[in-house]
Amino acid sequence: MSQEPSQEPIVPASGDAAAAGPFKTGFVAVVGRPNVGKSTLTNALIGSKISIVSRKAQTTRHRIHGVLTRDNTQFVFVDTPGFQTRHGGTMNRMMNRVVTQALADVDVIVHVVEAGKWSAGDEQIVPLLPVSKKCILAVSKVDTLKNKNDLFDFVGRIMSKFAYDAVVPVSSVKGVQLDTLLAEIEQRLPQGEFMFEEDALTDRPIRFIAAELIREKIFRLVGDELPYACTVVIEQWDEDENAARIAACVVVERDSHKPILLGAKGTHMKRIATEARQDISALLDKPVFLEIYIKVRKGWSDKESALRDLGYE
Ligand SMILES: Nc1nc2c(ncn2[C@@H]2O[C@H](COP(=O)(O)OP(=O)(O)OP(=O)(O)O)[C@@H](O)[C@H]2O)c(=O)[nH]1
């Protein structure tokens, strides 16, 4: 994605009582194995599921997930794809490279692990954590724990693997300790002027977000059966002030993936399309007509060029 050249630093509007300096700002990466709750946590921290445009200053090579501005602090959350453990091949290597690069120049890393569940996937993340960075261990989904005392042993074992700067047990679903986690991150951000407008949430183009919303529905509904085997491409986008007509194509790897996506009598696909349409409609603030097609493109996830065509870097 192209980046705007740096402009004047942005400071909160004068007259805002909370806005007297010094200001803190920095990049925060939320990492962890798939399914530990990274996206849910990041969204809960930012406080909005859908985030739209409005980056002003500062060149960055990060992909911005969202920006949270609280009083004198701006948290810039950057995207790092899940560390893939289930799927071999080119896709993994590319993904892992992206993770390592993303970690190299952020200010704070939040390593998310799921309460009571440590697996080989988590183990693979530890050597990727740069020792020179501030790193916070967030133990997610604590609402699922039957015995809270088990948490002490669990955390103790993880702390023996890496010198985390802080540990915060959280539940994104129940809103437990999210403020504590933000405070721990904030403490470790460097001083600096804000890089984004205060209401900025992300720099992703709206079509990309629409495709992500569709992909999210697919993963929610059939993710276990279709791990990393599909992507979404927006093929048509006609929008006027009254409505948007969108055609999206879901690309899967095998013929056998098609019926999984469709579900019995098309029920899965219907639900995916309905939920995605509602979200995109809320995002655009107008009615949306959404058509979703399925295409089979054999072996696409193992071909770097095909991946690039589909928008992966
Ligand atoms: N009970 C409970 N479930 C949660 C919580 N946070 C996330 N989940 C669930 O855990 C699952 C995975 O959450 P995601 O946020 O998609 O996890 P992720 O780490 O971003 O996953 P990848 O995209 O595969 O890397 C979803 O079904 C969430 O609803 C939580 O605090 N409590």
> Does 80 contact ligand 1 (Cβ within 6 A)?
no
238 is in an annotated binding site: no
> Does 40 contact ligand 1 (Cβ within 6 A)?
yes
Rounded to an integer, what distance in angstroms lies between the CA atom of residue 115 and that of residue 311? 33
Among 268, 239, 195, 241, which Cα is nearest to 9's?
Answer: 195
The residue nearest atom 17 of ligand 1, judged by CA position, is 37
Structure confidence at residue 147 (pLDDT): 87
Read off the tokens for 227. Answer: 């791990």
The domain spans of the chain are 17-187, 206-309
39 is in an annotated binding site: yes
* pLDDT for residue 49 is more than 50: no
For 299-305, what is the mean pLDDT? 56
Among 197, 188, 288, 203, which Cα is nearest to 242's?
Answer: 288
The residue nearest atom 30 of ligand 1, judged by CA position, is 141
Report the amino acid identity of residue 87: H
Rounded to an integer, what distance in angstroms lies between the CA atom of residue 4 and that of residue 57? 7
Q: How far is ligand 1, taken at its centre, from the CA of residue 216, in Å?
A: 12
* pLDDT for residue 222 is more than 70: yes
Strand locations in 37-173 (E): 64-70, 73-78, 108-114, 134-140, 166-169
The residue nearest atom 4 of ligand 1, judged by CA position, is 141
Among 304, 310, 306, 309, which Cα is nearest to 95's?
Answer: 304
Q: How far is ligand 1, taken at its centre, from the CA of residue 206, in Å?
A: 24
Q: How far is ligand 1, taken at its centre, from the CA of residue 41, in Å?
A: 8
For 246-274, what is the mean pLDDT? 90
Structure confidence at residue 277 (pLDDT): 94
- Asked if 211 contacts 233 with a C-beta cutoff of 8 angstroms, the reply is yes
Q: Does domain 17-187 have CATH number 3.40.50.300?
A: yes
3-class SS letters over 189-250 = CCECCECCCCCCCCCCCHHHHHHHHHHHHHHHHHCCCCCCCEEEEEEEEEECCCCEEEEEEE
How would CATH label the architecture of 206-309? 2-Layer Sandwich (3.30)
The residue nearest atom 10 of ligand 1, judged by CA position, is 37
Structure confidence at residue 52 (pLDDT): 38
36 is in an annotated binding site: yes
Read off the tokens for 32. Answer: 């962890």
The tens digit of pLDDT for each residue in 147-192 reads 888 899 999 999 999 999 999 999 999 999 999 999 999 999 999 9
How many residues are listed for the chain in this entry? 313
* pLDDT for residue 62 is more than 60: no
- pLDDT > 90 fraction of the chain, expressed in percent and rounded: 35
265 is in an annotated binding site: no
Interface pTM, i.e. ipTM: 0.98
> Does 143 contact ligand 1 (Cβ within 6 A)?
yes
* pLDDT for residue 40 is more than 90: no
Give the lowest-confidence range in 117-126, 203-212, 230-239: 203-212
Confidence of residue 12 (pLDDT cuts 50, 70, 90): very low
- pLDDT > 70 fraction of the chain, expressed in percent and rounded: 72
> Does 144 contact ligand 1 (Cβ within 6 A)?
yes
> Does 187 contact ligand 1 (Cβ within 6 A)?
no
Rounded to an integer, what distance in angstroms lies between the CA atom of residue 231 and that of residue 283? 21
DSSP run (H or E) holding 272? helix 267-284
The tens digit of pLDDT for each residue in 262-273 reads 988 999 999 999
> Does 177 contact ligand 1 (Cβ within 6 A)?
no
Structure confidence at residue 252 (pLDDT): 85
> Does 191 contact ligand 1 (Cβ within 6 A)?
no
192 is in an annotated binding site: no
Residue of 23 and 299 predicted with greater confidence: 23
- Asked if 36 contacts 206 with a C-beta cutoff of 8 angstroms, the reply is no
34 is in an annotated binding site: yes
Kindly report the pTM of this predicted structure.
Answer: 0.62
